[in-house]
Amino acid sequence: MLEIKNLHVKLEEEDKPILKGLDLTVGAGEVHAIMGPNGSGKSTLSYVLSGRDGYEVTDGAASLDGESLLEMEPEERAAAGLFLAFQYPVEIPGVGNMTFLRTALNAQRKARGEAELSAGDFLKLVREKAKALKIDAEMLKRPVNVGFSGGEKKRNEILQMAMLEPRMCILDETDSGLDVDAMKLVADGVNALRSKDRSFLVITHYQRLLDHIVPDVVHIMADGRIVKTGGPELALEVEQNGYADILAGAN
């Protein structure tokens, strides 16, 4: 599904390398977690994969189902099946959540040569998906993320994921700013979307999210590289001993 080889990335504006030869392969239907201390390059990885401006790939490759991602525009990557759940979802005043969802969904369908969804079909679909995430009709009518609580914003991200049905989902610190109940709701939403055709890359500081979204593989990232890979038990090790021991061991 997702294949990253020897990825080197620096900031466009300055000569500061952030990713320094990252290798990662996520198979179809797998859930991988990436953990690591602040500044290890986790968020950069998510931005580079989704095509945000400001980064320069100096070496390496990244592909989704064999298609190279790095030359694509962000919207092309989305249409190809990539989705990034933001750590800080953006507020867009004056644009209704429904309008946003419908515009995004139809733009992707159009890009894939599929017919646009009618207003009625869209409404039916969004109501059904929203209900599962306990998102009420009022929240759908409001402008995108405006006045949403931290938990509502993250649930809105998962709703977008559910509507857009991507094959590769990247969750960037989705647990940040969430209380236990909100985290559980978000995790339930993600788990409901797990399938043999859909993969996840869950980026997180803490092990607690991984109690709810149980990964198949856990990677530890430090200084722009994956330094250790293991099963879910690796996350527990981080929880108990912190990153220092693992990093010392890896070096």
Partner 1 sequence: MRKDAARAGATAERIAALDLPKGGFTAPARAAALSRLREMGLPGRRDEYWRFTDPAPLNAATAPEAALFTGVVEPQLFGSRDRIVLTFVDGRFDAAQSSPDFAVAGLEISRLAEADRADLHWAQGLYGLLEAAGQTPVARPFAALNTAAATDGVLIRATGKVSRPVHLVYVHADTGSDAVLHHCVRVEAGAELTLLETGPAAARFNKVMEVDVADGGRFHHVRAQGRDHSRRAITHIFARLGAEALFKSFTLTANGVLTRNEAVITLSGAGAIAHVAGAALGDGASGPFLHDDTVFVTHEAEGCESRQVFKKVLRNGAIGVFQGKILVRQGAQKTDGYQISQSLLLDEDSQFLAKPELEIYADDVKCSHGSTTGAIDETALFYLRSRGVPREEAQSLLVLSFLADAIAEIEDEGLQAEIVERLENWLARRRKG
Question: Between the CA of residue 85 and those of 69, 80, 90, 98, 242, what are the distances in Å?
Answer: 17, 16, 11, 18, 26
Work out whether 86 is an interface residue with partner 1 (CB under 8 A): yes
Tell me whether residue 79 or residue 246 sits nearer to partner 1 (CB atom): 79
| 51: nearest Cα among 73, 83, 23, 26 | 73
Tell me whether residue 154 or residue 228 sits nearer to partner 1 (CB atom): 154
Tell me whether residue 100 or residue 122 sits nearer to partner 1 (CB atom): 100
Signed CA dihedral, 131, 136, 137, 142: sign only:
negative
Work out whether 75 is an interface residue with partner 1 (CB under 8 A): yes
Angle at CA 30, nearest 5°, toward 25 and 33? 70
User: What is the amino acid identity at position 116?
Assistant: E
- What's the closest the beta carbon of residue 153 comes to partner 1, in angstroms? 12
H or E element: which one contains 168?
A: strand 168-172
Work out whether 78 is an interface residue with partner 1 (CB under 8 A): yes
Of residues 113-172, which lie at the interface with partner 1 (CB under 8 A)? Answer: 143, 160, 164
Of residues 23-42, which lie at the interface with partner 1 (CB under 8 A)? Answer: none
Given 28, 57, 70, 104, the residue binding partner 1 (CB under 8 A): 104
Work out whether 13 is an interface residue with partner 1 (CB under 8 A): no
Given 9, 79, 140, 235, the residue binding partner 1 (CB under 8 A): 79
Query: Which residues make beta-bridge pairs with 56?
Result: 10
Number of residues forming the site for partner 1 (CB under 8 A) = 30
Say if CB 220 and CB 228 are below 8 A apart.
yes
Q: Where does this chain touch partner 1 (CB under 8 A) — which range of 8-16, 47-55, 134-142, 216-224?
A: 47-55
Question: Between the CA of residue 201 and those of 7, 15, 18, 94, what are the distances in Å?
Answer: 16, 28, 19, 32
Work out whether 103 is an interface residue with partner 1 (CB under 8 A): yes
Query: Which residues of this protein are in contact with partner 1, per CB under 8 A?
Result: 50-53, 73-75, 77-79, 83-84, 86, 89-90, 92-95, 99-100, 103-105, 107-108, 111, 143, 160, 164
